[in-house]
Structure 1
Amino acid sequence: MRQARHLLSRSILRTNVNRFAQANRFYSTQPTNDNAEFRVESDTMGKINVPNDKYWGAQTQRSLQNFKIGDSRERMPIEVIHAYGYLKKAAAIINNKYGGLDEKLTKVICDVADELQQGKLDDHFPLVIWQTGSGTQSNMNVNEVLSNRATEKLGGKRGSKLVHPNDHVNRGQSSNDTFPTAMHIAVAIQVNKVLLPAMKKLESALDEKQKKFNNIIKIGRTHTMDAVPMTLGQEFGAWKHQVSNAIKRVEQALPEVYELALGGTAVGTGLNSYEGFDTDVAQKISELSGLPFQSAPNKFEALSSNDALVWMSAALNNYAVTCMKIANDVRLLGSGPRCGLNELLLPQNEPGSSIMPGKVNPTQCEAMTMVCAQVMGNHGSVSVAGSNGHFQLNVFKPVILSNVLQSIRLMGDASDSFVDHCIADIEANETQISKYVTQSLMLVTALNPKIGYDNAAAVAKKAYKENTSLKQAAKELNLLTEEEFDQYVKPELMLGPEPRK
């Protein structure tokens, strides 16, 4: 038995080693020209093998070896890589303007930066977010890919640095100002492209339902208990206004995201850049992206803090809170169909149970609320990360970026799905709604000005205890005649303040 366990253990070990070797075939450490699968690249640390079919270089390879944390799902978000395309192209153009790059180098860097921005080089960015907190390795990943691709386009060999990753592609820049700049570009683009359109779509869908249901009188609920009447349209209108306010908060957070750190270089002083480089490159990025980017007024703040993205994350968190409330209300109002509230008829999208035939669940509400829980958690991580800007640099940038971009994507996608597969096809169960209005004890509130609070409470308690109507209870207490009750208790007159006399 011991020998069998030993043989099994050795077999499992061999299998795991083989899997690790296959998954990490790029982690070759000894430089050699004998293996055609690799080429030799070098940096200030020395030589290292790099896969022949990849454009990245030595520093990217070292990061792959040193940060084997997580898996491919936790790679640096591709949106920030695409954002670097705008950044590196703009920097090359402005460097050429100031005489730092000749025309040939400028053109080839710009051409490759376009490929980068368009997603044509996505396979050459393998690094995870769990790396240096400044994003240095990802900045160098970009520099090396642009360097090797540009070198190749000029007829040189990869690794020969005909176009140098630092001297040319990264000229006038530091990872400390390029990475936060790329962060802001990526977030601004995704907010405008993914999040705001989806938020406005939800706002519009709720507005349509508000108008459609505006004349359906229902019972309101406070503390989850029966309250006075309102309209179903008013309920949807409250949700719509929540979303409208959430849109305003996201839009209010955008101006600081449009402020770019580029030009601050290492600590905010702008060492090794040119006077005016910061404003010119921000203007060029704005032209290339179509968004109103501008140079951050204080580069020390732009490098040492990530408050702008913490604020954006807070706006996303607020929107998640809003959608959590709306989705929970919708699924509670749609509960049933026979033993719940059943005021809303929700779309029946798919079977809800593997054991209970005919069961249908509020799955879109569930998906939305799970997304909201994730986004709220993301904001917690962003808050902790944003609070740790030590001295002249915050070194929690990749996790801030990853969480904010995930929150943008999730809230955008979930909002689209919630509208398309739930809100758009919701109908009112007017029969059930009318039944609740008729049965509600809280209609007695209309009697307060006529018979007083204490007497009205006595009517409600008597009706509830004896399971009779409010009208019957009021009559038996000799407080009102049936005619007077019918005159005073009209749900359609309880939907707002009384007009002035």
Structure 2
Amino acid sequence: MPKSTTRLEHDLLGDREVPTAAYYGVHTLRALENFPITGISIAVYPDLIRALAQIKKAAAQANQKLGLLDAKRADAIVAACREVIDGQWHDQFVVDVIQGGAGTSTNMNANEVIANRALEILGCERGDYKTLHPNEHVNMSQSTNDVYPTALKLATYVGIFRLVDAMAYLRKAFERKADEFADVLKMGRTQLQDAVPMTLGQEFSTYAVMLGEDEERLKEAALLIREMNLGATAIGTGINAHPDYAPLVCRKLAEVSGVPVVTAPNLIEATQDCGSFVQLSGVLKRVAVKLSKVCNDLRLLSSGPRAGFNEINLPPRQAGSSIMPGKVNPVIPEVVNQIAFEVIGNDSTVTFAAEAGQLQLNAFEPIIAHSLFKSALHLTNGCKVLADHCVNGITANRDLLRESVERSIGIVTALNPYIGYANATEVAAEAFRSGRGVAEVVIERGLMSPEQLAEVLRPEVLTRPQLIPQSVAA
């Protein structure tokens, strides 16, 4: 007889045929049927899958040490978990990223995959749950309500520092450009109007500083993410867990994951409170807002090339139009802008989901997880793309920038301490009416000598605080 393509499994609702080749079981099968929402499985987030396996491994080790799980089963579970941590069997994590049940489907998907792989390691058939059971053994001393948020925090912690590295990579690209453009004089602008001179290097250095500040904010948010409720079980009381389980499993999880996790001081509070996720989401939004502002600047400064600012040139990446020959668009800043818009929206989702929690549990952590993972991943990729495909290749139109300073009415501000505000106002008005340069009008009126003017209008004088010589000020 041909070998059966399915195996029979049983749950609360009855019997179901599960594909023989599947490592997942009946609970996962029902989740597949119940939640055809995004078409995106949790396997798209490998950090989450590894985190789930790390938790199951730590739990098996803790339960064995406490005498609750025999060595044979514990070793098989640990071996199966190690394979998942190393990247195997991720294709078996098939439930949708958005699901009802507070993450139960995700937890059971992990329990079933690890149980069935452990059964194979023991020389048994998949589905032989009398030998090793997804709930009784893999999920021992656990509940979805402590496993799922712990997995989310572990995965998020890893993602935070991946993003920090990407932001540092982009920051260094801006720092290199700041050094390269340190001697390039240009006009600064406020409200899109000419203000006072600055250097292009100063402009680019601000982008580096903005990123550096938020690297630190992300590291601060990571401190809150380290606090876990593992050992809380259902609502935080630790029911069905050994009294020594919570601190022991925390130590084991720190060893397994390399993340310096700590047990929350109040597990009932930690099981229902999503404040750390809200905090992190807010920081991710802050990063997004700043990145989007920087990209707005890059698009504006590179606008043209003939009818815009045309102060800098972004590296051309692709043809910009299907109808306008020769057009090149700022596609890299544009894609980062769109990432920022998404992250800002994700923050609203996290806020609503965290607020919607009721009593001892928040049932909406799956959408919190999906939102945070997307935000961190897309920001990480966006920082790398912006550095590699845009910032590293930016050039300055030096002659045009210098000319804009010399022709700008705004340069008269630098002369206020030398000729007085009233004279400066008259000079600005005359220069604007006549179309002449400020320097020409000042000399014509005898307000300053050409030598004095040349000294004042040097880049190093125009772009930083200076002591005004009393003889000149008088």
Tell me the TM-score normalised to structure 2 length. 0.94
SS of the equivalent of 1:268 reads: coil
- Give % identity: 39
SS of the equivalent of 2:189 reads: strand
**Deviation string, structure 1 residues 416-469 (Cα, Å, up to 9, x no partner):** 111111111112111111111111111101221233223312211221122122
Q: Is the 2:40–2:97 contact (alpha carbons within 8 Å) kept by the matching residues of 1? A: no
Aligned-residue offset at 1:486: 4.4
Tell me if 1:451 matches 2:419: yes
Equivalent position amino acid for 1:201 in 2: Y
Q: What's 1:179 paired with?
A: 148
Aligned-residue offset at 1:165: 0.8
Q: What's 1:227 paired with?
A: 195
SS of the equivalent of 1:394 reads: coil
Equivalent position amino acid for 1:355 in 2: I
**Deviation string, structure 1 residues 142-167 (Cα, Å, up to 9, x no partner):** 11111122122222222220211111
Aligned-residue offset at 1:483: 5.6
Q: What's 1:69 paired with?
A: 37
SS of the equivalent of 1:72 reads: coil
Give the distance between the partners of 1:491 and 1:426, measured in 2 at CA. 22
Q: Is the 1:261–1:295 contact (alpha carbons within 8 Å) kept by the matching residues of 2? A: yes
Q: What's 2:436 paired with?
A: 468
Q: Is the 2:42–2:94 contact (alpha carbons within 8 Å) kept by the matching residues of 1? A: no
Tell me if 1:45 matches 2:24: no
Q: What's 2:472 paired with?
A: none
Equivalent position amino acid for 2:265 in 1: P
Q: Is the 1:76–1:402 contact (alpha carbons within 8 Å) kept by the matching residues of 2? A: no
Q: Is the 1:386–1:394 contact (alpha carbons within 8 Å) kept by the matching residues of 2? A: yes
Give the distance between the partners of 1:53 and 1:110, measured in 2 at CA. 22
Q: Is the 2:58–2:249 contact (alpha carbons within 8 Å) kept by the matching residues of 1? A: yes
Q: Is the 1:83–1:185 contact (alpha carbons within 8 Å) kept by the matching residues of 2? A: yes
Give the distance between the partners of 2:423 and 2:299, measured in 1 at CA. 37
Aligned-residue offset at 1:66: 2.0
Give the distance between the partners of 1:212 and 1:439, measured in 2 at CA. 24
SS of the equivalent of 2:16 reads: strand
Aligned-residue offset at 1:487: 5.2
Q: What's 2:321 paired with?
A: 353
Q: What's 1:394 paired with?
A: 362
Q: What's 1:112 paired with?
A: 80
Give the distance between the partners of 2:209 and 2:174, measured in 1 at CA. 9
Give the distance between the partners of 1:417 and 1:461, measured in 2 at CA. 46
Tell me if 1:214 matches 2:182: yes
Q: What's 1:163 paired with?
A: 132
Aligned-residue offset at 1:488: 4.4
Give the distance between the partners of 1:95 and 1:133, measured in 2 at CA. 26
Aligned-residue offset at 1:73: 6.2
Give the distance between the partners of 1:73 and 1:367, measured in 2 at CA. 25
Equivalent position amino acid for 1:415 in 2: C
Alignment of 1:29-178 (within 5 A): 36-72=4-40, 77-161=45-129, 162-178=131-147
Equivalent position amino acid for 2:196 in 1: V
Give the distance between the partners of 2:128 and 2:325, measured in 1 at CA. 67
Equivalent position amino acid for 2:47 in 1: E
SS of the equivalent of 2:155 reads: helix
Structure 1 residues 399 and 166: CA distance shift in structure 2, 3 A: same
Q: What's 2:205 paired with?
A: 237
Structure 1 residues 493 and 352: CA distance shift in structure 2, 3 A: same
Q: Is the 2:48–2:151 contact (alpha carbons within 8 Å) kept by the matching residues of 1? A: yes
Aligned-residue offset at 1:119: 2.3
Give the distance between the partners of 2:396 and 2:38, measured in 1 at CA. 47
Moved more, 408-417 or 37-46: 37-46
Structural RMSD (CA): 2.0
Aligned-residue offset at 1:477: 5.6
Tell me if 1:368 matches 2:336: yes
Equivalent position amino acid for 2:178 in 1: Q
Alignment of 1:247-266 (within 5 A): 247-266=215-234
Q: Is the 1:217–1:492 contact (alpha carbons within 8 Å) kept by the matching residues of 2? A: no
Give the distance between the partners of 1:238 and 1:189, measured in 2 at CA. 28
Aligned-residue offset at 1:41: 0.2
Tell me the TM-score normalised to structure 1 length. 0.89
Aligned-residue offset at 1:131: 1.7
Gaps of 5+ in 2: 470-474
Deviating runs (4+, > 4 A) in structure 1? 73-76, 475-491
Alignment of 1:282-297 (within 5 A): 282-297=250-265
Equivalent position amino acid for 2:324 in 1: M
Q: Is the 2:456–2:462 contact (alpha carbons within 8 Å) kept by the matching residues of 1? A: no
Q: What's 2:300 paired with?
A: 332
**Deviation string, structure 1 residues 315-360 (Cα, Å, up to 9, x no partner):** 1111111110111111211112222211112112222222222222
Give the distance between the partners of 1:255 and 1:155, measured in 2 at CA. 43
Give the distance between the partners of 2:424 and 2:68, measured in 1 at CA. 85
Q: What's 1:9 paired with?
A: none
Equivalent position amino acid for 1:292 in 2: P
Give the distance between the partners of 1:77 and 1:485, measured in 2 at CA. 62
Aligned-residue offset at 1:479: 4.8
Q: Is the 2:184–2:200 contact (alpha carbons within 8 Å) kept by the matching residues of 1? A: yes
Structure 1 residues 347 and 46: CA distance shift in structure 2, 3 A: same
Q: Is the 1:133–1:397 contact (alpha carbons within 8 Å) kept by the matching residues of 2? A: no
Counterpart pick for 2:160 among 191, 198, 202: 191
Gaps of 5+ in 1: 1-32
